[in-house]
A and B are shown apart, each in its own frame.
Chain A
Amino acid sequence: MTITEDQDARSDAPATPRQRRAARIAEAAGGGWGLILLKIVVLGLILALAVYAALVLIRMDQWVPAVLVVAAALLAVWIYSGRGRLPAKYLMPGLVFLFVFQVFAALYTGYVAFTNYGTGHNSTKESAVNALMLSAQERVPDSPEYELTILDQLGELSFLVTDPDGEVLIGGEDRPLEEVDDAEMRGGKAVALDGYTTLEFAEIVANQERISEMAVPLSDDPNDGALRTPDGSIAYVYTSTLVYDEAAGTMTDTRTGVVYSDIGTGAFTAEDGTELKPGWQIVVGFDNFTRAFAEESIRGPFLSVLVWTFAFALLSVLTCFALGLFLAIVFNDPRMKSKKYYRVLMILPYAFPGFLSALVWAGMMNQEFGFLNVVLFGGADIPWLTNEWLAKASIILVNLWLGFPYMFLICTGALQSIPEDVQEAARVDGASAWQVFRSIKLPLLLVAVAPLLISSFAFNFNNFSLIYMLTGGGPRDVTAGVNVGATDILITMVYKVAFVGSSADYGLASAFSIIIFILVATISVLAFRRTKALEDLN
Chain B
Amino acid sequence: MTTQTAAPSTGAIVTAEAGVRGEGREPRRPFRKYFRETGWRHIVGVLATVFALFPLLYVFSASLNPGGTLLTANSLFSRVSLESYLTLFQNETHPYGAWFVNTLVIGLVTAFFTVLLGALAAYCFSRMRFTGRRFSLTALLVVQMFPQMLAMVAIFLLMVTISDIFPAIGLNTQIGLIMVYLGGALGANTYLMYGFFNTVPASIDEAAKIDGAGHARIFFTIILRLVAPILAVVGLLSFIGTCSEFVLASVILVDPDKQTLAVGLYRFVSDEFSKNWSVFAAGAVLAAILPVALFLALQRYIVGGLTAGSVK
Contact = CB atoms under 8 A, between A and B. Distances in A.
B158 interface: yes
A97 B185 contact: yes
Interface string B169-185: 00000000001101111
A350 B299 CA distance: 11
Max chain A CB contacts within 10 Å: which of B53, B250, B269? B269
A361 to B, nearest CB: 6
Interface of A: 8-9, 12-14, 19, 22-27, 30, 32, 35, 53, 56-57, 60, 62, 86-87, 90-91, 93-95, 97-98, 100-106, 108-109, 112, 117, 323, 326-327, 330-331, 333-338, 341-342, 344-357, 359-364, 366, 369-371, 374-375, 401, 405-406, 409-410, 413-414, 417, 448-449, 451-452, 462, 464-465, 468-469, 472, 491, 494-495, 498-499, 506, 509-510, 513, 516-517, 520-521, 524
B41 A333 contact: yes
A12 B288 contact: no
B266 A94 contact: no
A335 B273 CA distance: 48
A263 to B, nearest CB: 26
A108 B121 CA distance: 25
Given A333-B41, A355-B244, A356-B288, A108 B154 contact: yes
Interface string B109-147: 000000011101101100010100100100000010111
B186 A95 contact: yes
Interface of B: 1-2, 5, 8, 14, 17-18, 21-22, 26, 37-38, 41-42, 44-45, 48-49, 51-53, 55-56, 58-59, 62, 69-71, 73-74, 116-118, 120-121, 123-124, 128, 130, 133, 136, 143, 145-158, 164-166, 179-180, 182-187, 190, 209-217, 219, 240, 243-244, 246-247, 250-251, 262, 265-266, 269-270, 273-274, 277, 280-281, 284, 287-288, 291-292, 295-296, 299, 303, 306-307, 310-312
Given A101-B155, A341-B5, 16 more contacts: A53-B166, A60-B165, A86-B130, A87-B133, A93-B117, A101-B184, A112-B154, A335-B37, A342-B45, A345-B52, A348-B56, A353-B262, A366-B273, A371-B73, A410-B307, A413-B311
B258 to A, nearest CB: 17
B278 to A, nearest CB: 11
A347 B306 contact: no
B287 to A, nearest CB: 6
A98 B185 contact: yes
Nearest to B145: A521
A491 B149 contact: yes
Contact of B310 (A14, A97, A452, A495): A452
Contacts, number: 319
Given A353-B291, A359-B266, A9 B214 contact: yes
Contact of B117 (A94, A330, A405): A94
A353 to B, nearest CB: 4
B210 A370 contact: no
B55 A364 contact: yes
A240 B185 CA distance: 52
Nearest to A524: B145
